[in-house]
Amino acid sequence: MTELTKLKIAEARDLLAKGDITSRELTDAHIAAVDAAGELNAYIAKTPEIALAQADAADAKIKAGDAKGMTGIPVGIKDLFSTKGVHTQACSHILDGFKPEYESTVTQNLWDDGAVMLGKLNMDEFAMGSSNETSYYGPVKNPWRRGDTDTVPGGSSGGSVASVAGFAAMGATASDTGGSIRQPASFTGTFGFKPTYGRCSRYGMVAFASSLDQAGTITRDVRDGAIMMESIAGFDAKDSTSVDMPVPNFEAALTGDIRGMKIGIPQEYHLAGMPGEIEALWHQGIEWLKAAGAEVVDINLPHTKYALPTYYIVAPAEASSNLARYDGVRYGLRETVEGGSLADMYEATRAAGFGDEVKRRIMIGTYVLSAGYYDAYYLKAQKVRQLISDDFKRAFQQVDAILTPTAPSAAFAPGEKSDDPLAMYLNDVFTVPASLAGLPGSSVPAGLDANGLPLGLQILGKPWDEETVFKVSGVLEEAAAFTAEPKIWWR
């Protein structure tokens, strides 16, 4: 049973097609693994009955010759993707008891392809966090430890990466607003992929910042990421930001040939005080790509230094607008005040329902949108966002892809940065610029630090050129030959 949970998606797909294993067997093994990995706190709702029914349906599809890439593959679903009749709360108390009557497009695409749902995954509340410590359901533990010391899995997709790195899912849906796929992937030795904004439908995703949120995947390697991304991507008329263009065969892009490609190295990503191990890994990544036949080009992204403050104006502003809908009237938590007014009920519900980090971002967002400050903060941030996007456009006239570190550190201990929001926000310093520009990007596991914790390298591509990101990621993965696994201490 343990051997089945160590399979990668591509391996399982081939074994299923040959009849060497069944989806029922694969799913049984993963249901047991989910239970055994309880200490990770990756799952906040388990769905074994649904999983077994889907597995049986997948076996029938395979037998009928109607299988696709994800048919019969057990996956976990981040808690902000609506799943019909199943717990969907974005790990917030304010959505207490909410079970939607509709399915998100991303998950519906997976079920249409025959995938199997193991359950809903823990996350930072409303995807606001970089360590998965803000969830109403408690923090997620990283399968990777620093000796005997726990570490955070990164965020906000902490449950997604912990389940995949901990062999309790073959893949997981995730979302990326400012780095919530790529940073946790770097912390856990997994492959994280964020597509171009508009490549995947946002319909049925609980909104954080609507102009930034984008669905993506966490898998154990690049090929699995390509298979899963092809399943979830596609045009959806229910999402006005979804772009009507064909979904390429991402797996076919993994040719291993990047000869003649130009890879940009942004000078602004050499940060003062960055750990030497990360700088060294970046240089090693450059050498790996050179050895594969790519040409390395120094590039400039001059407005990079403004990306983090720009993000922490734009994203909270959109969050304050999106979260205004949670009022205790139609669904979710309702806190009443005896003899109180409707306004009192609103106030009591939001005070009890939102966590500290969510309240902080709502207040920041409300402030920057308020009369007298809108022009000084929000409007100026939107103008700087355009300048950041323009920097990337100019850079991509010279290069085919960009290589950077994914995160400025390896995974840190729980509580180490949670009392200092600015220190926590700096975790996104390398991922936020691409999010503001809507670019596709990945994090490839590329090495270990002195404490044996994973470090990732980030590949960024042109809009709608996910194929190049996958291609370069595959070459980097092969060169890095990252085969390390966390010690299974949680069973």
pLDDT tens digits, residue range 88-140? 999 999 999 999 999 999 999 999 999 999 999 999 999 999 999 999 999 99
Tell me how far CA of residue 137 lies from CA of 120, 424, 449, 486, in angstroms.
12, 20, 30, 24
pLDDT for 426 equals: 83
pLDDT band at 422 (very low <50, low <70, confident <90, very high): confident
Indicate the helix (H) or strand (E) that contains 479.
helix 466-480
CA-closest candidate to residue 195, choices 123, 247, 128: 247
Helix axes 307-322, 356-369, angle to 10 degrees: 100
What is d(CA 341, CA 343) in angstroms, rounded to the nearest whole number? 5
pLDDT for 221 equals: 98
pLDDT band at 2 (very low <50, low <70, confident <90, very high): low
CA-closest candidate to residue 424, choices 319, 301, 259, 312: 312
User: What is the rounded average pLDDT of the residues 440-448?
Assistant: 98
Token pair in block for residue 161: 């990466």
pLDDT tens digits, residue range 244-285? 999 999 999 999 999 999 999 999 999 888 889 999 999 999
**Do 369 and 317 touch, CB atoms closer than 8 A?**
yes
**Do 196 and 437 touch, CB atoms closer than 8 A?**
no
**Do 459 and 282 touch, CB atoms closer than 8 A?**
no
Q: Residue 186 class from Cβ within 10 Å (0-12 exposed, 13-18 middle, 19+ buried)?
A: buried
pLDDT tens digits, residue range 44-76? 999 999 999 999 999 999 999 999 999 999 999
What is d(CA 413, CA 8) in angstroms, rounded to the nearest whole number? 29
pLDDT tens digits, residue range 130-157? 999 999 999 999 999 999 999 999 999 9
**Mean per-residue pLDDT over the chain, rounded:** 96
- Looking only at the bridges linking them, the beta strands covering 262-266 and 214-219 are unpaired
**Do 220 and 172 touch, CB atoms closer than 8 A?**
no
Strands, sheet with 401-405, edge to edge from the N-terminal-most edge strand:
43-46, 116-121, 74-78, 171-176, 214-219, 191-194, 441-448, 454-461, 401-405, 262-266, 295-299
CA-closest candidate to residue 35, choices 47, 26, 25: 47
Domains in the chain, CATH or no CATH each: 1-491 (3.90.1300.10)
User: What is the rounded average pLDDT of the residues 372-385?
Assistant: 95
The yes-or-no verdict on residue 399 having pLDDT over 80 is yes
| Catalytic (active-site) positions | 78, 156, 180
The yes-or-no verdict on residue 400 having pLDDT over 70 is yes
What is d(CA 264, CA 281) in angstroms, rounded to the nearest whole number? 16
pLDDT for 353 equals: 97
pLDDT band at 172 (very low <50, low <70, confident <90, very high): very high
Tokens 């306004």, residue located? 343
The yes-or-no verdict on residue 434 having pLDDT over 90 is yes
pLDDT tens digits, residue range 18-27? 999 999 999 9
pLDDT for 421 equals: 80
Tell me how far CA of residue 173 lies from CA of 19, 144, 200, 415, 432, in angstroms.
27, 20, 12, 26, 20
The yes-or-no verdict on residue 1 having pLDDT over 80 is no
Q: Name 132's Cβ contacts closer than 8 Å, sequence gap at least 6.
A: 122, 123, 124, 139, 140, 152, 153, 154, 155, 156, 157, 158, 159, 162, 184
Say if residue 473 is preceded by a cis peptide, omega within 30 of 0.
no
Token pair in block for residue 263: 């890879």
Whole-model pTM?
A: 0.96
